[in-house]
Amino acid sequence: MSNNEQTLRFCSSAIMMRIKTPKNGRVRRELEKRAPKLVETGKKTLILQGTKTSGTLNGVLSEIYHLKKGGAVRFTRKNDNIRPFESGGEASLEFFSLKTDCSLFVYGSHSKKRPNNLVIGRMYDHHVYDLVEVGVENFKSIESFNYDKKMAPRVGSKPFIAFVGEGFENVDELKHLKEVLLDLLRGEVVENINLAGVDRAYVCTAISLNKVYLTHCALRLKKSGTVVPRMELVEVGPSMDLVVRRHRLPNEGLRKEAMRTAKDQPKKKVKNVSSDAIEGTIGKIYIPDQKVGDVALPNKAKGVKRERREAKKKEANERASKKQREESE
């Protein structure tokens, strides 16, 4: 981005300031996508790992990435300077979040004290907002499930999410985990949804005071008497037990600021677009006056060629007649 900037130097009172604007339309659109919006659509997730990972943890991270294919970034190198729960160890995470524009992160690491550790965190303004640390047990990957492949959920479809258990209401840590999981599994926030396209569901059950069983299922809609079809769940995707280890709640001030919403503003009128009951959305396109006669023809039309042939013939005739005249003279 730094190569495509237009710079304007100007010497102000004390400090020299420079206005940098993007020279490229593509860069400008990217910057606008990353700017803070009034109403937010989905958050992107950053998936990365620490110094050591185990086989199961690798599987977990790659499957989470697969589940969130459209809105996730996967880093494969090890990052030994990231320690989310320590005060100085978040700088690298915040830098990555800023550069990739991700507000959710999943950090996996494996050690003897905390085996198969997963830290799920959220960012506010690219600074760490809150963290939940869980351990993964009894992980079953997508490959280990047998199901009819035609029913497999498509990438990017909006999932149903179900939380079961009184633990999610009573236990502080599970309440926090519920909120974070909802944010992680939600996907894009959309206004309209196609009823034919709902095909996945996540089920999280609180098994005990600190354990949650999370599984990903495909949906089968079966005919029932009413408009509402009968739902059937078939386990397809990864299933794992999450054991809550540590968590950090956001401080009150930050939480209040992050939960603020703006009152709904009237939608900006889009120009040249109107909607009709019969035809739907209609757009108007203005084209300048086409001067059909003046445009140069790209392919030499046959007529043009014939003209040249005839002109040549005429010339030849004239020359011949001239010669005749000369001879006669």
Partner 1 sequence: MEMEMEMEMETQKPFQVDVGNLLAFNPFHNFSSLPTSRDELVKECLEEGTKLIQAVADGLFNLPSTEDVDGPLVKLPPPATKLPREKHLPKPKPPTKWEEFAKKKGITKRKKDKVVWDEQTGTWKRRFGYDRVHDDKDIPIIEAKMTDEPGEDPFAKRQDDKKKRVEKQEKNRLQNLKQAAKLGALPSHVQLAATALPITGTQAPPKKVTKDELGNVAGMAATSTASGGKFDRKLPGEKPAKKQGKHRKFLPVVEGSGIGSREKEQTDNVLNKLISKHSHEILNIGKAVTMYNVKKEKKARNRKNQEGKSSSTSNKLKPKKQLHKKAAKKGPESSKKRKAK
Smallest gap, in angstroms, from Cβ of residue 74 to partner 1?
19
30 burial level (CB within 10 Å; 0-12, 13-18, 19+): middle
Is position 259 an interface residue for partner 1 (rule: CB under 8 A)? yes
Q: Residue 289, interface with partner 1 (CB under 8 A)?
A: no
Evaluate whether 182 touches 204 at the Cβ level (below 8 Å).
no
What part of residues 166-185 is at the interface with partner 1 (CB under 8 A)? Answer: 166-169, 178-179, 182-183
Output the smallest distance, CB 280 to partner 1, in A: 10
| One residue of 26, 149, 154, 195 binding partner 1 per CB under 8 A | 195
We find the least distance from the C-beta atom of residue 209 to partner 1, in angstroms, to be: 10
The residue among 4, 30, 27, 5 whose CA lies nearest residue 18 is: 5
Stretch that binds partner 1, among 191-199, 289-297, 308-316, 317-325 (CB under 8 A): 191-199
Q: Does 205 bind partner 1 (CB under 8 A)?
A: yes
Q: For 288, how many CA atoms within 13 A lie in the half-sphere containing its CB?
A: 1
List alpha helices for 68-137, DSSP H. Answer: 91-100
**111 counts as binding partner 1 under rule CB under 8 A:** no
- State which of residues 32, 148, 172, 310 lies at the interface with partner 1 (CB under 8 A): 32
Contacting partner 1 within 56-85 (CB under 8 A): 81
Q: Which of 255, 305, 306, 312 binds partner 1 (CB under 8 A)?
A: 255
Q: How far is the CB of 30 from partner 1 (least distance, A)?
A: 9
Distance CA 156, CA 185 (A): 11
Q: Does 301 bind partner 1 (CB under 8 A)?
A: no
Stretch that binds partner 1, among 56-64, 214-222, 293-301, 309-317 (CB under 8 A): 214-222
The smaller minimum CB distance to partner 1, of residues 8 and 297, is found at 8
Told to check if 163 binds partner 1 by CB under 8 A, we report: yes
Residues 74, 102: Cα–Cα separation, whole Å:
11
**How many amino acids of this chain bind partner 1 (CB under 8 A)?**
92
15 binds partner 1 (CB under 8 A): yes
In the complex, the smallest distance separating the C-beta of residue 234 from partner 1, rounded to whole angstroms, is 9
The C-alpha angle 62, 63, 67, rounded to 5 degrees, equals 120
Q: Does residue 270 bind partner 1 (CB under 8 A)?
A: no
End-to-end Cα, the chain, rounded Å: 82
Among 52, 229, 245, 249, binds partner 1 (CB under 8 A): 229
Six-digit token string for 227: 């408009």
Q: If binding is defined by CB under 8 A, does position 320 make contact with partner 1?
A: no
Does 123 help bind partner 1 (rule: CB under 8 A)?
Answer: yes
What DSSP state is assigned to residue 244?
E
Q: Is 35 in the site for partner 1 (CB under 8 A)?
A: yes
Q: How far is the C-alpha of 103 from the C-alpha of 39, rounded, in Å?
A: 15
61: which residues sit within 8 A by CB, 6+ positions away?
47, 49, 53, 74, 106, 108
Q: Please list, in sequence order, all residues whose beta carbon lies within 8 angstroms of the beta carbon of residue 284, skipping any fewer than 6 positions away.
A: 272, 273, 274
Residue 290 Cα to chain centre, angstroms = 41
Q: How far is the CA of 249 from the CAs of 129, 131, 137, 245, in angstroms?
A: 8, 7, 24, 13
